Structure 1
Protein backbone atom coordinates (compact mmCIF):
# COMPACT_ATOMS: atom_id res chain seq x y z
CA UNK A 1 0.00 0.00 0.00
CA UNK A 2 1.30 3.44 -0.95
CA UNK A 3 1.99 5.76 2.02
CA UNK A 4 -0.57 8.53 2.46
CA UNK A 5 2.24 11.01 3.18
CA UNK A 6 5.67 10.77 1.60
CA UNK A 7 8.45 13.22 2.57
CA UNK A 8 11.69 13.11 0.56
CA UNK A 9 14.86 15.14 1.16
CA UNK A 10 12.94 17.89 2.94
CA UNK A 11 14.98 20.82 4.24
CA UNK A 12 14.09 24.27 5.54
CA UNK A 13 16.61 27.05 6.06
CA UNK A 14 15.38 30.50 7.05
CA UNK A 15 16.83 33.82 5.89
CA UNK A 16 18.67 34.12 9.20
CA UNK A 17 20.63 31.01 8.29
CA UNK A 18 18.89 28.80 10.85
CA UNK A 19 18.37 25.28 9.53
CA UNK A 20 15.08 24.00 10.96
CA UNK A 21 14.95 20.76 8.93
CA UNK A 22 17.83 18.82 7.39
CA UNK A 23 17.08 16.40 4.56
CA UNK A 24 14.11 14.70 6.23
CA UNK A 25 12.76 11.46 4.75
CA UNK A 26 9.53 10.11 6.22
CA UNK A 27 6.59 7.97 5.17
CA UNK A 28 3.24 7.86 6.98
CA UNK A 29 1.10 4.79 6.40
CA UNK A 30 -2.54 5.08 5.45
CA UNK A 31 -4.86 4.65 8.43
CA UNK A 32 -2.24 4.67 11.19
CA UNK A 33 -1.75 6.84 14.27
CA UNK A 34 1.77 8.23 14.04
CA UNK A 35 3.33 10.10 16.98
CA UNK A 36 6.11 12.58 16.23
CA UNK A 37 8.17 13.25 19.33
CA UNK A 38 10.98 15.69 19.91
CA UNK A 39 12.19 18.39 22.31
CA UNK A 40 11.25 22.05 21.88
CA UNK A 41 12.89 23.47 18.76
CA UNK A 42 13.47 20.05 17.22
CA UNK A 43 11.52 20.89 14.04
CA UNK A 44 8.16 19.22 14.71
CA UNK A 45 5.98 22.25 13.98
CA UNK A 46 8.08 23.26 10.96
CA UNK A 47 7.68 19.80 9.45
CA UNK A 48 3.92 19.81 10.04
CA UNK A 49 3.59 23.35 8.68
CA UNK A 50 5.37 22.41 5.45
CA UNK A 51 3.23 19.30 4.91
CA UNK A 52 0.09 21.37 5.54
CA UNK A 53 1.20 24.03 3.03
CA UNK A 54 1.73 26.81 5.58
CA UNK A 55 5.52 27.05 5.15
CA UNK A 56 7.48 26.72 1.90
CA UNK A 57 10.30 24.16 1.97
CA UNK A 58 13.82 25.09 0.87
CA UNK A 59 14.40 21.73 -0.84
CA UNK A 60 12.66 18.38 -1.09
CA UNK A 61 9.23 17.06 -1.95
CA UNK A 62 6.07 16.19 -0.02
CA UNK A 63 3.17 14.13 -1.37
CA UNK A 64 -0.16 14.10 0.47
CA UNK A 65 -2.32 11.22 -0.76
CA UNK A 66 -0.48 11.41 -4.09
CA UNK A 67 -0.73 15.20 -4.46
CA UNK A 68 2.45 17.31 -4.43
CA UNK A 69 1.97 20.03 -1.82
CA UNK A 70 3.48 22.88 -3.86
CA UNK A 71 2.38 22.16 -7.45
CA UNK A 72 -1.01 20.69 -6.50
CA UNK A 73 -1.66 22.74 -3.39
CA UNK A 74 -5.48 22.80 -3.43
CA UNK A 75 -5.92 19.05 -3.85
CA UNK A 76 -3.24 18.29 -1.24
CA UNK A 77 -4.62 20.75 1.31
CA UNK A 78 -8.15 19.42 0.87
CA UNK A 79 -6.94 16.05 2.14
CA UNK A 80 -5.52 17.54 5.35
CA UNK A 81 -7.00 18.82 8.58
CA UNK A 82 -4.78 20.68 11.04
CA UNK A 83 -5.31 21.41 14.72
CA UNK A 84 -2.50 23.88 15.55
CA UNK A 85 -1.10 24.65 18.97
CA UNK A 86 -2.41 28.22 18.92
CA UNK A 87 -6.10 28.95 19.43
CA UNK A 88 -6.72 31.19 16.41
CA UNK A 89 -10.31 31.93 15.44
CA UNK A 90 -12.77 34.84 15.25
CA UNK A 91 -13.69 35.68 18.84
CA UNK A 92 -17.09 37.19 17.94
CA UNK A 93 -18.40 34.40 15.70
CA UNK A 94 -20.56 31.59 17.04
CA UNK A 95 -19.35 28.02 17.23
CA UNK A 96 -21.81 26.91 14.54
CA UNK A 97 -20.91 29.63 12.04
CA UNK A 98 -17.16 29.18 12.63
CA UNK A 99 -17.22 25.47 11.88
CA UNK A 100 -19.62 25.89 8.95
CA UNK A 101 -17.47 28.64 7.42
CA UNK A 102 -14.36 26.48 7.74
CA UNK A 103 -16.06 23.74 5.70
CA UNK A 104 -17.01 26.28 3.04
CA UNK A 105 -13.39 27.41 2.64
CA UNK A 106 -12.65 24.06 1.01
CA UNK A 107 -15.53 24.36 -1.42
CA UNK A 108 -17.59 21.73 0.37
CA UNK A 109 -21.41 21.98 0.16
CA UNK A 110 -23.32 22.79 3.31
CA UNK A 111 -23.97 19.76 5.49
CA UNK A 112 -25.76 20.71 8.73
CA UNK A 113 -26.07 17.05 9.76
CA UNK A 114 -22.29 16.59 9.59
CA UNK A 115 -21.65 19.78 11.60
CA UNK A 116 -24.20 18.67 14.19
CA UNK A 117 -22.49 15.28 14.53
CA UNK A 118 -19.08 16.92 14.93
CA UNK A 119 -20.30 19.31 17.61
CA UNK A 120 -22.05 16.53 19.50
CA UNK A 121 -18.98 14.28 19.31
CA UNK A 122 -16.89 17.10 20.79
CA UNK A 123 -19.45 18.05 23.47
CA UNK A 124 -20.03 21.43 21.77
CA UNK A 125 -23.66 21.06 20.80
CA UNK A 126 -24.95 23.05 23.79
CA UNK A 127 -22.48 25.83 22.87
CA UNK A 128 -23.33 26.00 19.17
CA UNK A 129 -24.85 29.50 19.43
CA UNK A 130 -22.19 30.85 21.82
CA UNK A 131 -19.55 33.30 20.66
CA UNK A 132 -16.00 31.90 20.69
CA UNK A 133 -14.87 34.61 23.14
CA UNK A 134 -17.30 33.26 25.75
CA UNK A 135 -15.79 29.76 25.75
CA UNK A 136 -13.19 28.30 28.08
CA UNK A 137 -9.77 27.32 26.77
CA UNK A 138 -10.79 23.67 26.60
CA UNK A 139 -13.95 24.49 24.65
CA UNK A 140 -11.95 26.64 22.21
CA UNK A 141 -9.65 23.68 21.64
CA UNK A 142 -12.68 21.55 20.80
CA UNK A 143 -13.79 24.17 18.26
CA UNK A 144 -10.35 24.01 16.59
CA UNK A 145 -10.74 20.25 16.23
CA UNK A 146 -14.25 20.64 14.79
CA UNK A 147 -12.92 23.18 12.25
CA UNK A 148 -10.13 20.81 11.22
CA UNK A 149 -12.63 18.00 10.63
CA UNK A 150 -15.34 20.07 8.98
CA UNK A 151 -14.20 19.36 5.39
CA UNK A 152 -13.86 15.60 6.04
CA UNK A 153 -10.08 15.26 5.61
CA UNK A 154 -8.37 11.88 5.26
CA UNK A 155 -5.27 13.12 7.12
CA UNK A 156 -5.47 14.86 10.49
CA UNK A 157 -2.57 16.64 12.17
CA UNK A 158 -2.85 17.26 15.91
CA UNK A 159 -0.05 19.60 17.03
CA UNK A 160 0.08 19.41 20.84
CA UNK A 161 -3.72 19.00 20.93
CA UNK A 162 -4.07 18.45 24.68
CA UNK A 163 -1.68 21.17 25.86
CA UNK A 164 -3.36 23.02 28.71
CA UNK A 165 -6.69 21.19 28.53
CA UNK A 166 -8.49 19.25 31.22
CA UNK A 167 -8.49 15.50 31.73
CA UNK A 168 -12.07 15.14 30.49
CA UNK A 169 -11.25 16.75 27.14
CA UNK A 170 -8.17 14.58 26.75
CA UNK A 171 -10.30 11.45 27.19
CA UNK A 172 -12.98 12.74 24.81
CA UNK A 173 -10.36 13.64 22.24
CA UNK A 174 -8.66 10.27 22.24
CA UNK A 175 -12.01 8.51 21.94
CA UNK A 176 -12.69 10.67 18.88
CA UNK A 177 -9.22 9.92 17.48
CA UNK A 178 -9.87 6.19 17.77
CA UNK A 179 -13.19 6.53 15.97
CA UNK A 180 -11.55 8.56 13.20
CA UNK A 181 -8.82 5.98 12.75
CA UNK A 182 -11.48 3.25 12.54
CA UNK A 183 -13.14 5.24 9.74
CA UNK A 184 -9.86 5.33 7.80
CA UNK A 185 -8.48 8.74 8.79
CA UNK A 186 -4.71 8.89 9.26
CA UNK A 187 -3.67 10.68 12.46
CA UNK A 188 -0.32 12.40 13.00
CA UNK A 189 0.17 13.89 16.45
CA UNK A 190 2.84 15.69 18.36
CA UNK A 191 2.58 15.72 22.13
CA UNK A 192 4.53 16.48 25.27
CA UNK A 193 2.45 13.87 27.09
CA UNK A 194 4.47 10.84 26.08
CA UNK A 195 2.05 8.55 27.90
CA UNK A 196 -0.50 9.55 25.24
CA UNK A 197 1.85 8.47 22.45
CA UNK A 198 2.55 5.26 24.32
CA UNK A 199 -1.17 4.52 24.61
CA UNK A 200 -2.40 5.75 21.20
CA UNK A 201 0.30 5.48 18.54
CA UNK A 202 0.98 2.63 16.15
CA UNK A 203 4.41 4.01 15.24
CA UNK A 204 6.78 6.50 16.81
CA UNK A 205 9.07 8.98 15.07
CA UNK A 206 11.70 10.96 16.97
CA UNK A 207 13.06 14.23 15.60
CA UNK A 208 16.01 16.14 17.05
CA UNK A 209 17.78 19.23 15.71
CA UNK A 210 15.86 19.04 12.45
CA UNK A 211 16.67 15.41 11.70
CA UNK A 212 14.58 12.25 12.01
CA UNK A 213 16.68 10.01 14.22
CA UNK A 214 14.29 7.08 14.52
CA UNK A 215 11.03 5.72 13.12
CA UNK A 216 9.82 2.47 14.64
CA UNK A 217 6.76 0.44 15.49
CA UNK A 218 5.87 1.37 19.06
CA UNK A 219 5.85 -2.21 20.33
CA UNK A 220 9.11 -3.04 18.55
CA UNK A 221 10.74 0.16 19.79
CA UNK A 222 9.93 -0.66 23.39
CA UNK A 223 11.05 -4.24 22.90
CA UNK A 224 14.41 -3.26 21.42
CA UNK A 225 15.24 -0.18 23.45
CA UNK A 226 13.26 -0.65 26.63
CA UNK A 227 15.42 -1.49 29.62
CA UNK A 228 14.12 -3.77 32.33
CA UNK A 229 14.95 -4.07 35.99
CA UNK A 230 14.69 -6.99 38.36
CA UNK A 231 14.64 -5.92 42.01
CA UNK A 232 15.36 -8.50 44.72
CA UNK A 233 14.47 -7.84 48.36
CA UNK A 234 17.34 -9.45 50.27
CA UNK A 235 16.93 -11.49 53.45
CA UNK A 236 20.08 -9.88 54.85
CA UNK A 237 21.43 -6.44 53.80
CA UNK A 238 24.75 -6.31 51.95
CA UNK A 239 27.51 -3.71 52.01
CA UNK A 240 29.21 -4.78 48.80
CA UNK A 241 28.79 -7.22 45.94
CA UNK A 242 30.91 -10.38 45.80
CA UNK A 243 33.44 -10.61 42.97
CA UNK A 244 31.59 -13.57 41.46
CA UNK A 245 28.76 -11.21 40.45
CA UNK A 246 30.95 -8.56 38.78
CA UNK A 247 29.80 -9.63 35.32
CA UNK A 248 26.23 -8.46 35.94
CA UNK A 249 24.80 -4.92 35.83
CA UNK A 250 23.95 -4.99 39.54
CA UNK A 251 23.51 -2.24 42.09
CA UNK A 252 22.63 -2.16 45.77
CA UNK A 253 19.71 -0.01 46.87
CA UNK A 254 17.95 0.97 50.09
CA UNK A 255 21.07 0.66 52.25
CA UNK A 256 21.90 -2.72 50.83
CA UNK A 257 18.44 -4.20 51.42
CA UNK A 258 17.70 -4.53 47.68
CA UNK A 259 19.66 -5.79 44.72
CA UNK A 260 18.77 -4.24 41.34
CA UNK A 261 19.63 -6.02 38.09
CA UNK A 262 19.31 -3.97 34.86
CA UNK A 263 19.07 -5.82 31.56
CA UNK A 264 17.62 -5.60 28.07
CA UNK A 265 15.01 -7.84 26.50
CA UNK A 266 17.60 -9.87 24.58
CA UNK A 267 19.21 -11.00 27.82
CA UNK A 268 15.96 -11.54 29.69
CA UNK A 269 15.81 -15.33 29.93
CA UNK A 270 19.46 -16.39 30.00
CA UNK A 271 20.54 -13.41 32.09
CA UNK A 272 18.02 -13.86 34.88
CA UNK A 273 18.47 -17.63 35.03
CA UNK A 274 22.24 -17.32 35.28
CA UNK A 275 21.99 -14.53 37.85
CA UNK A 276 19.68 -16.48 40.15
CA UNK A 277 21.98 -19.48 39.96
CA UNK A 278 25.05 -17.36 40.79
CA UNK A 279 23.20 -15.70 43.67
CA UNK A 280 22.41 -19.11 45.12
CA UNK A 281 26.03 -20.19 44.70
CA UNK A 282 27.14 -17.05 46.54
CA UNK A 283 24.77 -17.79 49.43
CA UNK A 284 22.61 -14.71 48.78
CA UNK A 285 18.94 -15.24 49.65
CA UNK A 286 15.98 -13.01 48.90
CA UNK A 287 12.40 -12.69 50.17
CA UNK A 288 10.72 -11.18 47.13
CA UNK A 289 11.35 -9.99 43.59
CA UNK A 290 9.65 -7.64 41.14
CA UNK A 291 10.27 -6.45 37.61
CA UNK A 292 9.75 -3.10 35.89
CA UNK A 293 10.27 -1.83 32.35
CA UNK A 294 11.29 1.58 31.06
CA UNK A 295 8.49 3.66 29.59
CA UNK A 296 8.42 5.33 26.20
CA UNK A 297 9.41 8.55 27.97
CA UNK A 298 12.58 6.90 29.30
CA UNK A 299 13.42 5.68 25.79
CA UNK A 300 12.76 9.11 24.27
CA UNK A 301 14.93 10.93 26.79
CA UNK A 302 17.72 8.41 26.25
CA UNK A 303 17.56 8.75 22.45
CA UNK A 304 17.69 12.53 22.50
CA UNK A 305 20.45 12.56 25.10
CA UNK A 306 22.56 10.16 23.03
CA UNK A 307 21.97 12.30 19.93
CA UNK A 308 23.19 15.40 21.70
Structure 2
Protein backbone atom coordinates (compact mmCIF):
# COMPACT_ATOMS: atom_id res chain seq x y z
CA UNK A 1 0.00 0.00 0.00
CA UNK A 2 1.45 3.40 -0.97
CA UNK A 3 2.09 5.96 1.74
CA UNK A 4 0.48 8.62 -0.51
CA UNK A 5 -1.48 8.02 -3.70
CA UNK A 6 -2.47 10.82 -6.08
CA UNK A 7 -5.01 9.56 -8.62
CA UNK A 8 -6.10 11.78 -11.54
CA UNK A 9 -6.08 14.87 -9.33
CA UNK A 10 -7.36 18.03 -10.99
CA UNK A 11 -8.01 21.47 -9.54
CA UNK A 12 -9.69 24.41 -11.28
CA UNK A 13 -9.98 27.90 -9.81
CA UNK A 14 -12.41 30.58 -10.94
CA UNK A 15 -10.91 33.93 -11.91
CA UNK A 16 -12.19 37.17 -13.52
CA UNK A 17 -10.68 35.96 -16.80
CA UNK A 18 -12.27 32.53 -16.58
CA UNK A 19 -11.29 29.24 -15.01
CA UNK A 20 -7.64 28.46 -14.25
CA UNK A 21 -6.47 24.85 -14.32
CA UNK A 22 -3.94 24.62 -11.47
CA UNK A 23 -3.64 20.81 -11.53
CA UNK A 24 -4.27 18.67 -14.58
CA UNK A 25 -4.74 14.91 -14.08
CA UNK A 26 -1.86 14.42 -11.64
CA UNK A 27 -1.22 10.76 -10.82
CA UNK A 28 1.65 9.10 -8.95
CA UNK A 29 2.28 7.05 -5.81
CA UNK A 30 4.81 7.57 -3.04
CA UNK A 31 5.86 4.30 -1.45
CA UNK A 32 6.19 3.79 2.30
CA UNK A 33 9.67 4.73 3.50
CA UNK A 34 10.55 6.82 0.44
CA UNK A 35 12.19 10.23 0.52
CA UNK A 36 10.33 11.80 -2.42
CA UNK A 37 10.91 15.18 -4.06
CA UNK A 38 8.21 17.30 -5.71
CA UNK A 39 9.81 20.03 -7.82
CA UNK A 40 8.58 22.73 -10.15
CA UNK A 41 8.75 26.46 -10.82
CA UNK A 42 6.56 28.95 -8.97
CA UNK A 43 2.94 28.44 -9.98
CA UNK A 44 3.46 24.83 -11.09
CA UNK A 45 0.86 23.53 -8.63
CA UNK A 46 3.02 22.07 -5.86
CA UNK A 47 1.43 23.93 -2.94
CA UNK A 48 -2.06 23.40 -4.39
CA UNK A 49 -1.41 19.65 -4.45
CA UNK A 50 -0.18 19.70 -0.85
CA UNK A 51 -3.16 21.84 0.23
CA UNK A 52 -5.50 19.19 -1.16
CA UNK A 53 -3.46 16.47 0.55
CA UNK A 54 -3.74 18.37 3.86
CA UNK A 55 -7.49 18.92 3.53
CA UNK A 56 -7.13 22.70 3.13
CA UNK A 57 -8.59 22.58 -0.40
CA UNK A 58 -10.82 20.23 -2.36
CA UNK A 59 -9.82 18.65 -5.64
CA UNK A 60 -12.09 19.33 -8.60
CA UNK A 61 -11.51 15.77 -9.78
CA UNK A 62 -9.63 12.68 -8.70
CA UNK A 63 -8.72 11.63 -5.17
CA UNK A 64 -5.81 11.31 -2.74
CA UNK A 65 -5.19 8.68 -0.08
CA UNK A 66 -2.73 8.58 2.83
CA UNK A 67 -1.91 5.03 3.94
CA UNK A 68 -5.17 3.97 2.31
CA UNK A 69 -7.29 6.69 3.97
CA UNK A 70 -9.09 9.01 1.57
CA UNK A 71 -8.37 12.63 2.51
CA UNK A 72 -12.05 13.55 2.06
CA UNK A 73 -14.09 10.55 3.23
CA UNK A 74 -11.64 9.41 5.93
CA UNK A 75 -10.11 12.78 6.70
CA UNK A 76 -9.50 12.20 10.43
CA UNK A 77 -7.39 9.07 9.84
CA UNK A 78 -5.61 10.71 6.90
CA UNK A 79 -4.67 13.80 8.92
CA UNK A 80 -3.46 11.75 11.88
CA UNK A 81 -1.06 10.04 9.50
CA UNK A 82 0.36 13.34 8.23
CA UNK A 83 2.77 15.90 9.63
CA UNK A 84 2.93 18.98 7.42
CA UNK A 85 5.40 21.86 7.58
CA UNK A 86 3.85 24.76 5.61
CA UNK A 87 5.66 27.46 3.67
CA UNK A 88 4.17 30.29 5.72
CA UNK A 89 5.25 31.14 9.26
CA UNK A 90 2.14 30.50 11.34
CA UNK A 91 2.35 30.73 15.14
CA UNK A 92 0.29 31.48 18.23
CA UNK A 93 1.79 34.49 20.04
CA UNK A 94 0.29 33.61 23.43
CA UNK A 95 2.26 30.45 24.26
CA UNK A 96 5.82 29.33 24.84
CA UNK A 97 7.47 26.83 22.52
CA UNK A 98 6.88 23.91 24.90
CA UNK A 99 3.25 24.92 25.46
CA UNK A 100 2.67 25.14 21.70
CA UNK A 101 4.02 21.61 21.24
CA UNK A 102 1.90 20.24 24.10
CA UNK A 103 -1.21 21.85 22.61
CA UNK A 104 -0.36 20.39 19.20
CA UNK A 105 -0.03 16.96 20.81
CA UNK A 106 -3.48 17.42 22.32
CA UNK A 107 -5.00 18.06 18.88
CA UNK A 108 -4.11 14.47 18.02
CA UNK A 109 -5.08 13.01 21.40
CA UNK A 110 -1.46 12.28 22.37
CA UNK A 111 -0.83 12.42 26.12
CA UNK A 112 2.35 12.05 28.16
CA UNK A 113 4.40 13.26 25.22
CA UNK A 114 7.04 15.27 27.10
CA UNK A 115 9.92 12.87 26.39
CA UNK A 116 9.37 13.12 22.63
CA UNK A 117 8.90 16.89 22.87
CA UNK A 118 12.26 17.13 24.66
CA UNK A 119 13.88 15.05 21.92
CA UNK A 120 12.41 17.33 19.24
CA UNK A 121 13.63 20.43 21.07
CA UNK A 122 17.16 19.06 21.30
CA UNK A 123 17.35 17.76 17.72
CA UNK A 124 15.98 20.97 16.24
CA UNK A 125 18.17 23.27 18.32
CA UNK A 126 15.28 24.63 20.40
CA UNK A 127 16.19 23.34 23.85
CA UNK A 128 17.29 26.78 25.09
CA UNK A 129 14.08 28.34 23.70
CA UNK A 130 11.63 25.87 25.26
CA UNK A 131 10.15 28.42 27.65
CA UNK A 132 10.42 31.45 25.36
CA UNK A 133 7.25 33.04 24.01
CA UNK A 134 6.75 32.45 20.30
CA UNK A 135 6.73 36.21 19.68
CA UNK A 136 10.33 36.44 20.92
CA UNK A 137 11.72 34.02 18.33
CA UNK A 138 13.50 34.89 15.11
CA UNK A 139 12.05 33.76 11.79
CA UNK A 140 14.43 30.80 11.64
CA UNK A 141 13.50 29.71 15.17
CA UNK A 142 9.78 29.98 14.36
CA UNK A 143 10.35 27.70 11.37
CA UNK A 144 12.07 25.18 13.63
CA UNK A 145 8.97 25.21 15.85
CA UNK A 146 6.77 24.56 12.79
CA UNK A 147 8.87 21.47 12.06
CA UNK A 148 8.55 20.33 15.67
CA UNK A 149 4.76 20.83 15.58
CA UNK A 150 4.51 18.73 12.43
CA UNK A 151 6.45 15.89 14.06
CA UNK A 152 5.06 16.07 17.60
CA UNK A 153 2.45 13.30 17.08
CA UNK A 154 5.02 11.01 15.36
CA UNK A 155 3.29 10.89 11.96
CA UNK A 156 4.33 8.10 9.59
CA UNK A 157 4.18 10.53 6.64
CA UNK A 158 6.03 13.87 6.77
CA UNK A 159 5.38 16.65 4.23
CA UNK A 160 7.91 19.47 4.03
CA UNK A 161 6.76 22.39 1.86
CA UNK A 162 9.81 24.63 1.30
CA UNK A 163 11.03 24.00 4.87
CA UNK A 164 14.39 25.78 4.44
CA UNK A 165 13.20 28.85 2.50
CA UNK A 166 15.03 31.89 3.85
CA UNK A 167 16.71 30.12 6.78
CA UNK A 168 20.35 29.88 7.79
CA UNK A 169 22.80 27.11 6.95
CA UNK A 170 22.77 25.79 10.53
CA UNK A 171 19.04 25.11 10.47
CA UNK A 172 19.26 23.44 7.06
CA UNK A 173 21.97 21.07 8.27
CA UNK A 174 20.21 20.35 11.59
CA UNK A 175 16.85 19.75 9.90
CA UNK A 176 18.21 17.42 7.23
CA UNK A 177 20.17 15.34 9.70
CA UNK A 178 17.06 14.82 11.82
CA UNK A 179 14.68 14.21 8.91
CA UNK A 180 17.15 11.78 7.28
CA UNK A 181 17.23 9.89 10.58
CA UNK A 182 13.43 9.70 10.70
CA UNK A 183 13.39 8.48 7.09
CA UNK A 184 15.85 5.70 7.95
CA UNK A 185 13.56 4.74 10.82
CA UNK A 186 10.71 4.20 8.33
CA UNK A 187 8.97 7.57 8.00
CA UNK A 188 7.92 8.59 4.50
CA UNK A 189 9.02 12.10 3.49
CA UNK A 190 7.58 14.31 0.75
CA UNK A 191 9.70 17.40 0.08
CA UNK A 192 9.14 20.46 -2.07
CA UNK A 193 12.11 22.81 -2.41
CA UNK A 194 13.76 25.31 -4.74
CA UNK A 195 17.17 24.26 -3.38
CA UNK A 196 17.77 21.56 -5.94
CA UNK A 197 21.04 20.41 -4.38
CA UNK A 198 18.96 19.34 -1.35
CA UNK A 199 16.61 17.30 -3.52
CA UNK A 200 19.53 15.70 -5.36
CA UNK A 201 21.23 14.72 -2.11
CA UNK A 202 18.16 13.50 -0.22
CA UNK A 203 15.45 12.22 -2.55
CA UNK A 204 15.15 8.65 -3.84
CA UNK A 205 12.67 9.65 -6.54
CA UNK A 206 11.55 12.97 -7.95
CA UNK A 207 8.44 14.24 -9.73
CA UNK A 208 8.53 17.53 -11.62
CA UNK A 209 5.43 19.63 -12.21
CA UNK A 210 4.99 22.21 -14.95
CA UNK A 211 1.73 24.13 -15.38
CA UNK A 212 -0.10 21.59 -13.23
CA UNK A 213 1.08 18.48 -15.09
CA UNK A 214 3.71 15.86 -14.25
CA UNK A 215 6.48 16.26 -16.83
CA UNK A 216 9.09 14.04 -15.17
CA UNK A 217 8.90 11.20 -12.66
CA UNK A 218 11.80 8.86 -12.04
CA UNK A 219 14.59 7.89 -9.69
CA UNK A 220 16.99 10.75 -9.07
CA UNK A 221 19.88 8.77 -10.52
CA UNK A 222 17.92 8.02 -13.70
CA UNK A 223 17.01 11.68 -14.21
CA UNK A 224 20.66 12.66 -13.83
CA UNK A 225 21.78 9.94 -16.25
CA UNK A 226 19.31 11.08 -18.89
CA UNK A 227 20.85 14.50 -19.54
CA UNK A 228 24.06 15.78 -21.11
CA UNK A 229 26.96 14.03 -19.41
CA UNK A 230 29.31 17.02 -19.31
CA UNK A 231 29.00 20.60 -18.07
CA UNK A 232 31.70 23.21 -18.54
CA UNK A 233 31.80 25.72 -15.66
CA UNK A 234 34.06 28.76 -15.36
CA UNK A 235 34.21 32.41 -14.31
CA UNK A 236 34.43 35.19 -16.85
CA UNK A 237 34.72 38.98 -16.58
CA UNK A 238 34.05 39.73 -20.26
CA UNK A 239 30.80 39.24 -22.18
CA UNK A 240 30.49 35.82 -23.81
CA UNK A 241 30.96 35.59 -27.58
CA UNK A 242 27.60 35.77 -29.35
CA UNK A 243 27.80 32.19 -30.61
CA UNK A 244 28.00 30.90 -27.03
CA UNK A 245 25.76 33.43 -25.24
CA UNK A 246 22.44 31.97 -26.41
CA UNK A 247 23.26 28.50 -25.05
CA UNK A 248 24.93 29.48 -21.76
CA UNK A 249 23.55 29.76 -18.25
CA UNK A 250 25.12 32.81 -16.61
CA UNK A 251 24.93 33.68 -12.90
CA UNK A 252 27.01 36.78 -12.23
CA UNK A 253 30.53 35.83 -13.29
CA UNK A 254 29.79 32.09 -13.37
CA UNK A 255 29.11 30.59 -16.79
CA UNK A 256 27.82 27.08 -17.45
CA UNK A 257 27.77 25.49 -20.88
CA UNK A 258 26.51 22.07 -21.87
CA UNK A 259 28.97 19.86 -23.74
CA UNK A 260 28.34 16.32 -24.94
CA UNK A 261 31.95 15.19 -25.44
CA UNK A 262 35.59 16.25 -25.32
CA UNK A 263 35.52 17.60 -28.88
CA UNK A 264 32.71 20.01 -27.97
CA UNK A 265 34.65 21.14 -24.88
CA UNK A 266 37.66 21.91 -27.09
CA UNK A 267 35.43 23.81 -29.51
CA UNK A 268 33.99 26.00 -26.72
CA UNK A 269 37.45 26.80 -25.35
CA UNK A 270 38.68 27.66 -28.85
CA UNK A 271 35.82 30.13 -29.31
CA UNK A 272 36.58 31.74 -25.93
CA UNK A 273 40.28 32.12 -26.64
CA UNK A 274 39.55 33.42 -30.14
CA UNK A 275 37.40 36.17 -28.63
CA UNK A 276 40.08 37.12 -26.11
CA UNK A 277 38.19 35.62 -23.16
CA UNK A 278 40.26 34.01 -20.43
CA UNK A 279 38.07 31.71 -18.29
CA UNK A 280 38.98 31.38 -14.60
CA UNK A 281 38.44 28.39 -12.28
CA UNK A 282 37.60 26.14 -15.21
CA UNK A 283 35.80 22.93 -14.23
CA UNK A 284 34.50 20.05 -16.29
CA UNK A 285 31.93 17.94 -14.46
CA UNK A 286 28.71 16.04 -14.71
CA UNK A 287 25.37 17.76 -14.99
CA UNK A 288 23.52 18.19 -11.68
CA UNK A 289 19.81 18.21 -10.88
CA UNK A 290 19.55 21.94 -11.58
CA UNK A 291 20.79 21.32 -15.13
CA UNK A 292 18.23 18.52 -15.58
CA UNK A 293 15.45 20.68 -14.14
CA UNK A 294 16.17 23.59 -16.48
CA UNK A 295 16.35 21.31 -19.52
CA UNK A 296 12.99 19.72 -18.70
CA UNK A 297 11.27 23.02 -17.86
CA UNK A 298 12.55 24.61 -21.07
CA UNK A 299 11.46 21.60 -23.10
CA UNK A 300 15.01 20.76 -24.21
CA UNK A 301 14.53 17.12 -23.21
CA UNK A 302 11.37 15.05 -23.63
CA UNK A 303 9.17 14.38 -20.62
CA UNK A 304 10.49 11.46 -18.59
CA UNK A 305 7.81 9.60 -16.66
CA UNK A 306 8.79 6.14 -15.47
CA UNK A 307 6.20 3.41 -15.64
Instruction: Decide: shared fold, TM above 0.5.
Output: yes
Q: How does 1:209-288 map to 2 (within 5 A)?
A: 209-229=211-231, 249=264, 250-251=267-268, 252-256=270-274
- Aligned partner of 1:120 in structure 2 is 122
The C-alpha deviation readout for 1:73-96, integer Å capped at 9, x for no partner, is 000010000000101010221000
Q: C-alpha separation between the residues in 1 aligned to 2:197 and 2:121?
A: 27
- Aligned partner of 2:256 in structure 1 is none
Query: Any gaps of 5 or more consecutive residues in structure 2?
Result: 234-262, 276-281, 302-307
Select which of 23, 31, 34 maps to 2:33.
Answer: 31
Select which of 76, 98, 105 maps to 2:107.
Answer: 105
Select which of 296, 302, 306 maps to 2:295.
Answer: 302
Contact 1:104 1:110 in 2 (8 A): no
Matched positions, count:
261
Q: C-alpha separation between the residues in 2 aligned to 1:307 and 1:154?
A: 38
Q: Does 1:71 align with 2:73?
A: yes
Q: C-alpha separation between the residues in 2 aligned to 1:76 and 1:168?
A: 32
- Aligned partner of 1:56 in structure 2 is 58
**Higher radius of gyration, 1 or 2:** 1
Q: 1:35 aligns to what SS in structure 2? A: strand
> Structure 1 residues 44 and 307, CA, compared in 2 at 3 Å: closer, same or farther?
farther
Task: Please list every run of at least 4 consecutive aligned residues from structure 1 whose deviation after the TM superposition is greater than 4 angstroms.
Answer: none
Q: C-alpha separation between the residues in 1 aligned to 2:198 and 2:89?
A: 21
Q: C-alpha separation between the residues in 2 aligned to 1:31 and 1:226?
A: 31
User: 1:256: how far off?
Assistant: 4.5
Q: C-alpha separation between the residues in 1 aligned to 2:68 and 2:39?
A: 25
Q: 2:72 aligns to what SS in structure 1? A: coil
- Aligned partner of 1:10 in structure 2 is 9
The C-alpha deviation readout for 1:268-302, integer Å capped at 9, x for no partner, is xxxxxxxxxxxxxxxxxxxxx97411111011011
The alignment's C-alpha RMSD in Å is: 2.0
Q: C-alpha separation between the residues in 1 aligned to 2:7 and 2:122?
A: 39
Q: 1:255 aligns to what SS in structure 2? A: helix
Q: C-alpha separation between the residues in 2 aligned to 1:197 and 1:207?
A: 14
Q: How does 1:126-205 map to 2 (within 5 A)?
A: 126-205=128-207
- Aligned partner of 1:42 in structure 2 is 44
- Aligned partner of 1:234 in structure 2 is none
Query: Any gaps of 5 or more consecutive residues in structure 1?
Result: 232-247, 258-288
User: 1:305: how far off?
Assistant: 0.8
The two structures have a TM-score, normalised by structure 1, of 0.81
Q: Does 1:208 align with 2:226?
A: no
